[in-house]
Amino acid sequence: MSKDAFLPTTVMWFRRDLRLRDNPALVAAAKAGSGSVAGLFILDEQLLAKSGQARIGFMAEAISNLDASMSTKLNVLSGKPVETVVEFAREVGATKVFVTEEFTPYAIERDQKAAEALKKIGVELVQIDSPYVVKPGTIMNQAGLPYKVFGGFRRGWEPLSEGIKVLAAPKVEWVQLSTKKPVIAANSRIRPRYFGDCPESTPDSLPEASEVAAKKLIAEFAKKSHEYADHRNEPGVSGTSRLSPYLRFGLVHPRQILAEISQNDAGGRTFASEICWREFYADVLFTNPNSRYEALQPKMARLRIDSDATAIQRFQTWTQGQTGYPLVDAGMRQLLAEGWMHNRVRMVTASFLIKNLHIDWRWGAQWFMCNLIDGDIASNQHGWQWTAGTGTDAAPFHRIFNPTLQAERFDPDGEYIKRYVPELREVPAPDCLRPQGGTLLSALDYPPPIVDHGVERAEALARLAELKTEAES
Ligand SMILES: Cc1cc2nc3c(=O)[nH]c(=O)nc-3n(C[C@H](O)[C@H](O)[C@H](O)COP(=O)(O)OP(=O)(O)OC[C@H]3O[C@@H](n4cnc5c(N)ncnc54)[C@H](O)[C@@H]3O)c2cc1C
């Protein structure tokens, strides 16, 4: 018998890395346990309570497919993560629990507590790798400080993202303690603070949540990535990768994507730069944990916002895609129907809420987090802050998207709008792109615009000017 045969089983605690391939933590777990690994996933009530049906539905399928790829030997448990992992490690008789390191404030605290509690029973929490090509907190400017703007971060990131290698799935003897698997369901009691419940229904169709499906998407996208720069802003065509939910749950690592997508053309290079935005925002959150809820630019926190009964009513109209602005409504309805929205339209809908309805960006961010399958605290909150002009980079507040001009530029034939706003299907472009496209629309069952863009744009700029006056006085 080899010396390795006496090594105890190790635990692989899966979280945002629901895959077997290119998973360095799993490779290390298999090595440490001489192939004998007990895989664990813990259903954390606190995280479930913040996720809507769409994200939970996608996650449930991802867990089920991971389980299937482990000969149905994944141990799926419900409970408080720290207590549950300690109890599980004790039962397995493990001396090491392996995880992919995580960097959100919630995960950092959870893992610190887990490491301490495990240590008390003689078990080590081994944190390896990250959900990113470059770990948050790695890239610094010349003064040794984290970058505040994307450009500098990207210049630091690019050399570190070149020539990366991906790992094969290790050979594992999976150890199963319990064959019972809890039913994974959304918590219908989710009650976001500002506006009532998250929708109760799951979207009609969710993308297939498996490593195999992610691989297929990458292969499909690789064939058209050279056109990415030309079409990524057009919501009516399938010009982007749609990989965000897979990255969110780690069904694929960004390394695997970059290894498959050629960066020898403008399309591939622009795509890599979008992957870098994801890494930048994770870095910003790691170095500014409060940026989840607080404006990164403190002065912007004083911008006058509306929160009265009219604002709440307008907010609800926005969530349901009934604003009377076709591109905004199409986006909000796509979110409800699919748990996903095109990036260009995320910017337009967010801008509309903040700068046309004068509502706190955090209301919108929370609605998105509730509904998006790819809902990711770093990308979402900072995507909102970018649009609000409160965050990183040169995204000045006075850049106010005009939803009609955006539709004319990026959806000129109304292909996207007609897909999600059936009331406008019979209306030819360009009328279908406009709030009240002349006499044609007046007969339709489509709501009139809730506000006038021109008037509200001026109002938004007046509110911005108040901040400047304050600063000068
Ligand atoms: C208000 C707002 C909220 C957002 N919320 C989220 C969110 O919760 N989760 C999320 O993953 N992305 C979010 N984004 C970023 C972006 O909209 C999505 O990542 C993108 O639409 C996903 O589609 P895709 O996979 O086809 O992207 P592609 O264009 O194919 O890009 C490839 C990958 O790069 C990353 N990426 C692309 N654009 C961005 C970006 N602007 N910021 C950060 N990462 C990016 C994503 O991981 C994406 O999957 C948000 C953007 C805005 C403006």
Residue 471 has pLDDT above 70, yes or no: no
Which pLDDT band, with edges at 50, 70 and 90, does 193 fall under?
Answer: low
Q: Looking at the structure, do residues 343 and 468 belong to the same domain, yes or no?
A: yes
Cα 465 off chain centre by: 33
Please tell me whether residues 302 and 274 are part of one structural domain: no
Atom from ligand 1 closest to the CA of residue 280: 43
**C-alpha 343 – ligand 1 centre gap (Å):** 6
pLDDT of the residue at 361: 94
pLDDT score recorded for residue 35: 84
CATH number of the domain residue 228 falls in:
1.25.40.80
Q: Categorize the per-residue pLDDT at 2 as very low, low, confident or very high, splitting at 50, 70 and 90.
A: very low
Judge whether residue 304 has pLDDT over 80.
yes
Is residue 281 domain-shared with residue 421, that is, in the same domain? no
Please check whether residues 125 and 143 belong to one and the same domain: no
Instruction: Look at residue 2 and tell me if it is in a domain.
Output: no
Residue 136 has pLDDT above 50, yes or no: yes
Q: Are residues 143 and 121 in the same domain?
A: no
The ligand 1 atom nearest the CA atom of 232: 29
Together in a domain, 143 and 215: yes
Comparing 23-27, 87-91, 201-205, 360-364, which segment has the lowest mean pLDDT? 201-205
Q: Whose CA is nearest to atom 52 of ligand 1?
A: 383
Whether residue 383 is predicted with pLDDT greater than 70 in this model: the reply is yes
What's the structural domain count of the chain? Answer: 3
pLDDT at residue number 1: 36
* Whether residue 364 is found in the same domain as residue 434: yes
Q: How far is CA 27 from CA 30, 124, 162, 282, in A?
A: 5, 16, 22, 24
Which residue type is seen at 284? V
**CATH code for the domain of 63:** 3.40.50.620
Final residue before a domain boundary, out of 260, 287, 314: 287
353 within some domain: yes
Tallying the residues shown for the chain, one arrives at 473
The phi, psi pair for 358, rounded to 5°, reads: 60, 40
Give residue-wise pLDDT tens across range 101-135.
999 999 999 999 999 999 999 999 999 999 999 99
Instruction: List residues near ligand 1 (CB under 6 A).
Output: 232, 240-244, 247-248, 274-275, 277-278, 281, 343, 346-347, 350, 368, 372, 374-376, 379-380, 383-384, 387
Residues 123 and 27 in one domain: yes
User: Helices H, strands E: what count in the chain?
Assistant: 20, 6
Residue 301 has pLDDT above 60, yes or no: yes
Residue 254 placed within a domain: yes
Q: What is the mean pLDDT of residues 164-187?
A: 84
Q: Is residue 49 part of a domain?
A: yes
Ligand 1 closest atom vs CA 386: 53
Asked if 141 and 281 sit in the same domain, the reply is yes
| CA distance from start to end of the chain | 81
Mutating to test ligand 1, I would choose from 379, 382, 401 the residue with most ligand atoms within 8 A of its C-beta, which is 379
Q: What b/e readout covers 245-258, taking b as 16+ CB neighbours within 10 angstroms?
A: bbbbbbbbbbbbbb
The verdict on 306 and 412 lying in the same domain is yes
- pTM score of the predicted model: 0.95
Provide the mean pLDDT of the chain.
91
User: Which residues constitute the domain of residue 415?
Assistant: 298-472
* Ligand 1 pocket, mutate which of 237, 278, 401 (most atoms under 8 A from CB): 278
Q: What CATH code is carried by the domain that includes residue 341?
A: 1.10.579.10
Q: How confident is the model at residue 183 (pLDDT cuts 50, 70, 90)?
A: confident
| pLDDT confidence tier of residue 469, bands split at 50, 70 and 90 | confident
Quote the CA–CA distance of 250 and 163 in Å, as a whole number: 21
Q: 174 lies in a domain?
A: no
pLDDT tens by residue, 395-426: 577 789 999 999 999 999 999 999 999 999 98
In the chain, % of residues over pLDDT 90: 79
- Among 129, 157, 186, the domain boundary falls at 129
Do both 244 and 226 map to the same domain? yes
CA of 278 to the centre of ligand 1 (A): 7
pLDDT tops 80 at residue 22: yes
Grade residue 67 by pLDDT with cuts at 50, 70 and 90.
very high
